[in-house]
Amino acid sequence: MLLQLRNIFKWVQLGGQRIFLLKDINLEVQEGEFISIMGPSGSGKSTLLNVIGMLDTFDEGEYDFLNESVHSLKEKYRSNLYKEYIGFVFQSYHLLDDLTVEENLEMPLLYKKIKSSERKALVADMLDRFSIVGKKDLFPTQLSGGQQQLVGVARALIGKPKLILADEPTGNLNSQQSEEIMQLFKKLNKEEGVTIIQVTHSEKNAAYGSRIINLLDGRKI
C-alpha cells in the first residue's frame, strides 16, 4: 500500500463558524493505481490533493505514506518524504520563467544533492525520452501550452517519484494537447508503474484512470 488517509478533516474558522474543506475522508491508494478526483468547483479536490502531497496540513485524522505517519512527522521529514517520492504537475505548469527547459528539469535535482555529472545525465535522458532535446535552451514563454506541460511532467518525473499528483493538468490545454498529456500519463502508469492521482473536471480525462473519487462539499460520495 502506498498511502492511506483515515478520517481526515480540514476546516477554516470563519466568523465563529467552522467551514469544512475536507470532511471525514478515507482513502487507500495502492501502488500502480491511476486515480481521478472529480467534483464541482469548491468541493475540495485541490485541497485533498495538497494534503496528499503534504503541501497542506489537516486538522484531524491520520495519514500514512509508505508506512510513515505523516501527521506526526516534523516539517523537515515531511518535505524530505515528498521530495523523495512525489512529483507535482500543475494546471498552469508553474515552470520558472527565468530558467530554460533544461534548467527547469535540473532544478528538483539540485535540492537532492545529486552530483553535477549525474544531473546532466538524468536531464539528457529526460529530454530524450520526451523528445524535447531541440527545445532544451528555450525559455518556457517560448513554448506552447502543451509543450510547457510536457516539460512540467518531465520535471515531475525526473526525481523518479512513486507518485505523481496532477492538479487539472490539462485545464489550460486544448483538446489535442490534452489528449497527448493523458496518453503520456497512461503510458507512465502502465509501463513504469508510476502511481498517479489527478484532479480533473473532464469525464473524458477521468476515464483514463482506474478509479474515480467524487467529492462534494469536502465529502467523498
Which residues sit at the interface with another protein, rule CB under 8 A?
46, 50, 53, 55-56, 76, 79-80, 82-83, 88, 90, 92, 94-99, 103, 106-108, 110-112, 155, 159
Using the minimum distance from each CB to another protein, give the nearer residue, 30 or 116: 116
CA 25 to chain centre: 19
Using the minimum distance from each CB to another protein, give the nearer residue, 32 or 90: 90
Of the candidates 36, 38, 49, the one whose C-alpha atom is nearest the C-alpha of residue 10 is 49
- CB 200, min distance to another protein, A: 16
- CB 111, min distance to another protein, A: 4
- CB 167, min distance to another protein, A: 8
List own/partner pairs for 42-46 with CB under 8 A and 24 or more apart: 42/217, 43/215, 43/216, 43/217, 43/218, 44/215, 44/217, 44/218, 45/167, 45/199, 45/215, 46/167, 46/199
Using the minimum distance from each CB to another protein, give the nearer residue, 166 or 208: 166
Grid cell of 112 as nine digits: 537532492
214 Cβ contact partners less than 8 Å away, ≥ 6 residues apart: 37, 38, 39, 220, 221
- CB 190, min distance to another protein, A: 26
**Paired residues of 34 in beta bridges:** 196
Of the candidates 58, 105, 54, 56, the one whose C-alpha atom is nearest the C-alpha of residue 82 is 54
- CB 91, min distance to another protein, A: 9
Using the minimum distance from each CB to another protein, give the nearer residue, 46 or 205: 46
Using the minimum distance from each CB to another protein, give the nearer residue, 53 or 145: 53
